[in-house]
Amino acid sequence: MAELNAVADLTVEGNIAVLTLNSPPVNALSAPVRDGIAAGLAAVAADDSVQAMVLICAGRTFIAGADITEFGRPPQGASLHTVIETIESFPKPVVAAIHGTALGGGLETALACHWRVAVPSAKLGLPEVKLGLLPGAGGTQRLPRLVGVPQALEMVTTGSMIGAKQAAALGLVDELTPEDELRAHAILYARRVVEEARPLRRVRDLSVTAEPGVFDAFRKTNARKFRGFDAPEFNIRCIEAAATKSFDEGLDVERDLFMQLMNGTQSKAQRHLFFAERAAQKIPDLPAGTQPRPIRRVGVIGAGTMGGGISMNFLSAGFPVTIVETNEAALHRGTGVMRSNYENTAKKGRITQETVERNMGLLTPSLSLDDLADCDLVIEAVFENMAIKKEIFAKLDGIVKQGAILASNTSYLNVDEIAAVTQRPQDVCGMHFFSPANVMRLLEVVRGAKTAPDVLETVLGLARKIGKVAVVAGVCHGFIGNRMLELRQREANKLIEEGAMPWDVDRVITEFGMPMGPFQMADLAGLDIGWSAETSKSETLRDKLCEQNRRGQKTRAGFYDYDEKRTPTPSDLVRDLVLAQSAAKGVTRRAISDDEILQRCTYTMINEGALILEEGMAYRASDIDMVWLTGYGFPAYRGGPMFYADTVGLKHIVETLRKFQAMNAADFKPAPLLERLAAEGKGFNT
């Protein structure tokens, strides 16, 4: 065996060389890995006794992608293009042996090999689009030559993986091997190629064509999904080039578009979020070696909108859940909604009926808090009312076993105040899920003054198990997300009083890339949250709308009118109410530009984000970006509000806030941190 470098070695078995890469954890295409492949090829080229080569990886996977820590740094070692070109032009057959995942540059490397064998459990894909990129090492040109245009379009624009069996059916994999015998079978395969004297199968030499109109049809079908993103369109253009130009011309198109994406803001934003997700898992002052507490059984109090969704997360991950309500009807209704949610998912083919039954079988409905005694974690999701929450936590303290974690799903309330009614404030934290709780990825973990490190460690680990992104927030009104959202809502309300209409504000915010604007969101949530007919005084626009039973989507009328499909149309009645409201307040309405709407809504949020950072309510700016990405659908291609602020320039934001401050007073006072960073020419992330 010859060691080529620290991560590659070469063995020769008869007339077949086996080049093994071993660069844990995922054999990413770092400079040493690329150099190792180049060295292996050189050694095999020089050895006349070797007639073919197998490229295989040690550890849990084939090459699982580029080494993205190299992005933006000066290139070192052999370039991936050279390595790939050398493999494909190699005069002796090269067989890729794939297990685990062949992703991105890994799959591109495999595509340069003359044949590909894989174990049935292997997965293959080109996920670059998820980082706002495209496969820039020939992937967009080779993939359609093997799997055809429609499949290639699907794979590069979604970035999703396909299994080896499907890959074999599509021609991406030439042979499946038994699960545990990849190496031996790859060698046999290479030997067969030599014995049969097969001509080298270079993917670049295969032809590919496309039905006319296929690209535009694909664009049209996916327009909604791709809205705002550059990368899917650029990926499509590459596949289009593959089908209409020569291989080399196609490569030029690919390289050109790749560089545009790589140097553009969108990919930087998406890469920022990739790292942000990982950074959010790190709590700066958590003692090293903090061990999580074991969680076997979960309790949820309240089977309403949130309690049901929260329970579903745990059931789906296999945790038994006890759910407690105050009365039989509410319990029955809540568990019924959970079942029908699961049934609907099953109808769409995303889970099996057995899974529905398994999940529901893990649920124990109850009317007594006493049944939570044995739970390792209890999450309270009752009405947003401090007195009720305190009463429940005081009771729980006397019921639930010692060492269990007691969490509240409160949206705004003070978690320390809730913790203080127990004898174990160190075991209390906030677990703030977002609606719909079984869908939205965000979990804001609210760290109370006394929350123990191992409680945080446990909750962060659990979040991963149930597929959530946890972001730690400090105790303050609305934590990170809702605290900033309130500011946006305040501006939105002021804007419609000063001259805009609700649909103007919503249009600007959705054009910016948010899934909905503030007034659409209010209609969806229900305008009567926290409103009551008895106390309503016809003061605010909301009072007036609710008094007319315009309570949002559920009553088919709110800021908008809704048809039976819940399609909104601007309402004349609301227009009149808005005008009347301004008149009543003595406000002379004026034309408000889209720029002003966007700036007032987003810059005030960013300003609040700066205050949150300054107060230590978030550990880092990128945590705030994660909250907005995963909790509110902030467009990934803008990287979250704080990253977006950096791209706009903090100096500009401060200047704009001052301009508004002169117009509108205190609401626009720039945060000291924002002013300081702007003065230093810095950003939140730089």
Active site amino acids = 108, 128
**Residue closer to ligand NAD, measured from CB, 22 or 305:** 305
**Residue closer to ligand NAD, measured from CB, 13 or 371:** 371
Stretch that binds ligand NAD, among 269-277, 427-435, 464-472, 496-504 (CB under 6 A): 427-435
Pair 66, 105: CB distance under 8 Å: yes
Residue with tokens 């759910």: 323
Count of C-beta atoms within a 10 Å radius of residue 17: 26
CA atoms within 13 A on the CB side of 526: 9
Q: Which residue is nearest to ligand NAD (CB)?
A: 304
Q: What is each CA distance from 525 to 57, 336, 423, 496, 528, in whole angstroms?
A: 51, 21, 36, 19, 9
**Residue closer to ligand NAD, measured from CB, 281 or 435:** 435
Q: In the window 364-423, what residues touch ligand NAD (CB under 6 A)? A: 381-384, 388, 392, 409-411
Binding mask 244-283 for ligand NAD (x = CB under 6 A): ----------------------------------------
Stretch that binds ligand NAD, among 33-41, 64-72, 188-196, 304-312 (CB under 6 A): 304-312
For residue 285, with 0-12 CB atoms within 10 Å meaning exposed, 13-18 middle and 19 or more buried, which class applies?
Answer: exposed
Stretch that binds ligand NAD, among 342-350, 429-437, 447-455, 636-644 (CB under 6 A): 429-437
Pair 288, 282: CB distance under 8 Å: no
CA distance 44 to 53: 7
| Nearest in space to 360 (alpha carbons), one of 338, 382, 383, 334 | 338
Stretch that binds ligand NAD, among 61-69, 197-205, 347-355, 426-434 (CB under 6 A): 426-434
Q: How far is the CB of 497 from ligand NAD (least distance, A)?
A: 26
Pair 53, 18: CB distance under 8 Å: yes
Q: How far is the CB of 330 from ligand NAD (least distance, A)?
A: 4
Q: How far is the CB of 392 from ligand NAD (least distance, A)?
A: 5
CA distance 425 to 417: 9
**Residue closer to ligand NAD, measured from CB, 62 or 479:** 479
CA end-to-end span of the chain: 47
**Residue closer to ligand NAD, measured from CB, 175 or 371:** 371
Output the CA torsion sign for 429, 434, 438, 443: negative
**Residue closer to ligand NAD, measured from CB, 193 or 624:** 624
**Residue closer to ligand NAD, measured from CB, 481 or 640:** 481
Residue 405 amino acid letter: I
Q: How far is the CB of 182 from ligand NAD (least distance, A)?
A: 47
Residues 560-593 as b or e (16 or more Cβ within 10 Å = b): bbbeeeeebeebeebeebbeebbeeeeeeeeebe
**Residue closer to ligand NAD, measured from CB, 168 or 392:** 392
Q: How far is the CB of 453 from ligand NAD (least distance, A)?
A: 25
DSSP state of 361: H
Q: How far is the CB of 663 from ligand NAD (least distance, A)?
A: 33
* Residue 526 binds to ligand NAD (criterion: CB under 6 A): no
Q: In the window 435-494, what residues touch ligand NAD (CB under 6 A)? A: 435
Output the CA torsion sign for 232, 234, 240, 246: negative
CA distance 466 to 679: 42
Q: How far is the CB of 299 from ligand NAD (least distance, A)?
A: 11
Q: What are the structure tokens assigned to 81, written together? A: 């293009």
How many DSSP H helices and E strands does the chain contain? 28, 20
Q: How far is the CB of 631 from ligand NAD (least distance, A)?
A: 9
What is 306-355 written as a DSSP string?
A: HHHHHHHHHHHTT--EEEE-SSHHHHHHHHHHHHHHHHHHHHTTSS-HHH
Q: What are the structure tokens assigned to 472, written together? A: 């730690």
Q: In the window 308-327, what residues touch ligand NAD (CB under 6 A)? A: 324-326
* Size of residue set near ligand NAD by CB under 6 A: 25
Q: In the window 133-172, what residues touch ligand NAD (CB under 6 A)? A: none
CA atoms within 13 A on the CB side of 467: 13
* Residue 330 binds to ligand NAD (criterion: CB under 6 A): yes
Residues 6 or more apart from 237 whose CB is under 8 A from it?
Answer: 253, 257
Q: In the window 545-584, what residues touch ligand NAD (CB under 6 A)? A: none
**Residue closer to ligand NAD, measured from CB, 209 or 326:** 326
Residue 606: which H helix or E strand, with range?
helix 594-614
**Residue closer to ligand NAD, measured from CB, 18 or 306:** 306
Binding test (CB under 6 A) with ligand NAD, winner from 77, 150, 304, 683: 304
Q: How far is the CB of 167 from ligand NAD (least distance, A)?
A: 41
DSSP state of 502: H
Binding mask 284-303 for ligand NAD (x = CB under 6 A): -----------------xxx
* Residue 329 binds to ligand NAD (criterion: CB under 6 A): no
CA distance 93 to 272: 40
Residue 417 amino acid letter: E
Binding test (CB under 6 A) with ligand NAD, winner from 305, 341, 536, 581: 305
Q: Is the peptide bond before 436 cis (omega within 30 degrees of 0)?
A: yes
Residue with tokens 């230093």: 680
DSSP 3-state of 475: coil
Q: What are the structure tokens assigned to 294, written together? A: 């074991």
Q: In the window 331-370, what residues touch ligand NAD (CB under 6 A)? A: 334
**Residue closer to ligand NAD, measured from CB, 392 or 429:** 392
**Residue closer to ligand NAD, measured from CB, 306 or 500:** 306
Q: Treating both helix axes as pointing N-terminal to C-terminal, what angle do 149-158 and 231-244 enclose, rounded to 10 degrees?
A: 160
Q: How far is the CB of 572 from ligand NAD (least distance, A)?
A: 30
Q: How far is the CB of 510 from ligand NAD (least distance, A)?
A: 20
Binding site for ligand NAD (CB under 6 A): 301-307, 324-326, 330, 334, 381-384, 388, 392, 409-411, 432-435
